[in-house]
Chains A and B, each alone.
Chain A
Amino acid sequence: MSLDAHVVVRRADFVLDLALAVEPGETVALVGSNGAGKTTFLHAVAGLVRLDDGHVRLGGRVLSDVRAGTHVPPERRRCGLVFQQHLVFPHLSALENVAFGLRAAGVRRREARRRAAGWLDRLGVADCGRRCGAQLSGGQAQRVALARSLACAPDVVLLDEPFAALDLASRPAVRDLLRSEVLDGTRPTVLVTHDPQDARELADRVVSLSFGSPCRGTSAAGADAAP
């Protein structure tokens, strides 16, 4: 399963034009300043933003193709988007949050809860299961949001600033968690961040985005970060 995207989104004051191919198991970090279009790119891949031109292909499926008039709605894309603001459902328990996608896909309640509990455990928030979304701390909400996306077994993982809401002390733990649980070597991952260190440590390749376009000289950063 690989991701092949050429995303063109035109706004009044801004044009995003980024072509990106991500191989199975590869992690690409998308870096750049605020307003560079990083989040818009992820949302376009996930189907929340319509393309003005270009295409999104995932494995053998065409998710978007402007010329052909194709736009698969978000709920049928199998894109695991983890939002910067987490967007954990405040009225559901952490367990119900993680079970949400499974329940939506028709998995029976008991089975969905069993699997959701497994994911909470893997992400180290098993003890938060009964607490409702609104009561979770920033770090807990982020792990629940990660578990919620991963539980749906997405074909691509799209991480939007996974470290933004975390204090410095908890960053290494989350980095390890991403390495062990998210970047599992089978599916493509796009990591949006504005921290070059996060990009170097987690990604195979770094793409810098500036005012909607990739910067020249964007290089594979995995090599120089290797020990």
Chain B
Amino acid sequence: MSMVETGVARSPGPRPVGTARRPRERTSVGLALLAGTGLVFVVAPFVALLLGAPWGRLLGLAVSGPALEALWLSLRTATAATALCLVLGVPLAWALARTTLPCRGVVRSVVTVPMVLPPVVGGVALLALLGRRGLVGRHLDAWLGVSIPFTTGAVVIAEAFVAMPFLVLSVDGALRSADVSLERAAATLGASRWYVFRRVTLPLVGPGVVAGAVLCFARAMGEFGATVTFAGSLPGVTRTMPLAIYLAMESDPELAVALSLVLIVTSVAVLVALRSRWLRPSGGPS
């Protein structure tokens, strides 16, 4: 038996390699050029932004009232949207990854629609649902006297709508690649589904959840189209940083550049803080 196996394993002789070498090198030079161009394409705009920044006036512009107001609103709404996505999106991802619903494939596609949809269209759709004449909105207005559009709550809803797929896909992927047998072991120890989810599943897919939340937060911070359509641009209420930047471009381009830098710095700082806080290797107490 073993002799046969070794005989088979040894059979293919050395392959002539000389012919394959030159074309491969040429391709790699071409690839390197394209890759380098790709890198420049991504980085160059940021360099231009930095070089063109009004460094002398920057601090004054960045800490001006409207700028801080917009930044504070952006941070609050993006945080709330991320929290909303976590509360609703993680269970949704769990249902997609761990249950045997017959229509899972369809649900998975539907969940990703906001990702490929133009955000403005998302805003129009939200108005169709929650606007004062909308499918649900008209009842909210008539029965409860509640009107959602053009409020800070509308900003949160618009951001969560657009950012949700990033979280769901990330957590769904993490769940599907995680080892199910640990959850089965937990079940044999008498743990309910909820207990298993809380103490085994969630900690094991923690990095996936954090990655999803980070993407979700970044997307929410940058949300423009759905927000401006569904929530408008009321200073201090719905005018988030991207909206403030767009408006500033028309009146004061230097202010727009300053706001952009503030947005970049803040986003990066929040993401770094999140990562170091939640991606620490832990086996902490229950």
Spell out A's residues near B (CB within 8 Å).
46-48, 73-81, 83, 85, 87, 89-93, 96, 100-101, 103-105, 109, 132-134, 148-149, 152
Q: In whole Å, how far is B98's beta carbon from the nearest beta carbon of chain A?
A: 14
Interface residues as binary, B188-213 with A (CB distance below 8 Å gives 1, 0 otherwise) = 11111101000110011000000000
> Can you report 16 A-B residue pairs in the complex whose CB atoms are below 8 A from each other?
A47-B188, A75-B191, A75-B192, A78-B190, A80-B188, A81-B188, A87-B182, A87-B184, A89-B182, A91-B204, A92-B286, A96-B285, A101-B189, A103-B286, A104-B186, A133-B283
Contacts of B27 in A (CB 8 A): none
Closest chain B CB from A43 CB (angstroms): 8
Residues of B within 8 A of A105 (CB): 190
| B264 close to A (CB within 8 Å) | no
- For residue B185, CB closer than 8 A to chain A, the reply is yes
| Chain B min CB distance to A144 (Å) | 12
Report Cα–Cα, A61/B279, bound state, in Å: 45
Residues of A within 8 A of B188 (CB): 46-48, 74-75, 77, 79-81, 149
Q: Using Cβ atoms and an 8 Å threshold, which residues of chain A touch B181?
A: 83, 85, 87
Question: CB distance B187 to A75 under 8 Å?
Answer: yes
B283 touches A48 (CB 8 A): no
B283 and A75 contacting across the interface, CB-CB below 8 Å:
no
Kindly identify which residue among B184, B185, B283 contacts A91, using a CB–CB cutoff of 8 Å.
B283
Place the interface of chain B in its size category: 20 to 34
A99 to B282, CA, bound (A): 18
Q: How far is the CB of A163 from chain B (nearest CB, A)?
A: 19
Is the CB–CB distance between B283 and A92 below 8 Å? Answer: yes
6 closest pairs, A vs B, by CB?
A: A101-B189, A132-B283, A104-B191, A87-B185, A74-B187, A81-B188
Given A93-B283, A133-B283, 13 further pairs, Cβ under 8 A: A74-B184, A76-B190, A87-B182, A89-B186, A90-B182, A91-B203, A91-B204, A96-B285, A96-B286, A100-B189, A100-B199, A104-B189, A109-B286
Residues in B227-286 with C-beta less than 8 Å from chain A: 282-283, 285-286
Whether A104 touches B184, Cβ cut-off 8 Å, given contacts A91-B283, A109-B286, is: no
Nearest CB to that of B282 among chain A residues? Answer: A91
The answer for the CA separation of A47 and B184 in the assembled complex, in Å, is 10
Q: Which residues of B contact A104 (CB under 8 A)?
A: 186, 189-192, 195
- Closest chain B residue to A112 by CB distance? B286
Q: How far is the CB of A131 from chain B (nearest CB, A)?
A: 9
- The interface residues of chain B lying within 8 Å CB-to-CB of A103 are 199, 286
| B contact residues around A92 at 8 Å (CB) | 199, 283, 286
A149–B182 CB distance below 8 A? no
Max chain A C-beta neighbours (<10 A), residue from B184, B189, B193, B282: B189
Are B286 and A48 neighbours in the complex by a CB distance under 8 Å? no
Enumerate B138-154 residues with CB–CB distance to A below 8 Å: none
Our pick among B184, B190, B200 for the contact of A101 (Cβ within 8 Å) is: B190
Which residues in chain B, 156-201, are within 8 Å of chain A measured between CB atoms?
A: 181-182, 184-193, 195, 199-200
Complex Cα spacing A93 to B200, Å: 13
The docked-state distance in angstroms from the alpha carbon of A46 to that of B190 is: 11
What CA separation (Å) do A90 and B282 show in the bound complex? 11
Select from chain A the residue with minimum beta-carbon distance to B186. A100
Q: What residues of A have a CB within 8 angstroms of the CB of B203 in the complex?
A: 91
Q: Smallest distance from the beta carbon of A102 to chain B beta carbons, Å?
A: 9
In the complex formed, the residue of B with least CB distance to A134 is B283
Chain A contacts for B191, CB-based, 8 A:
75, 100-101, 104
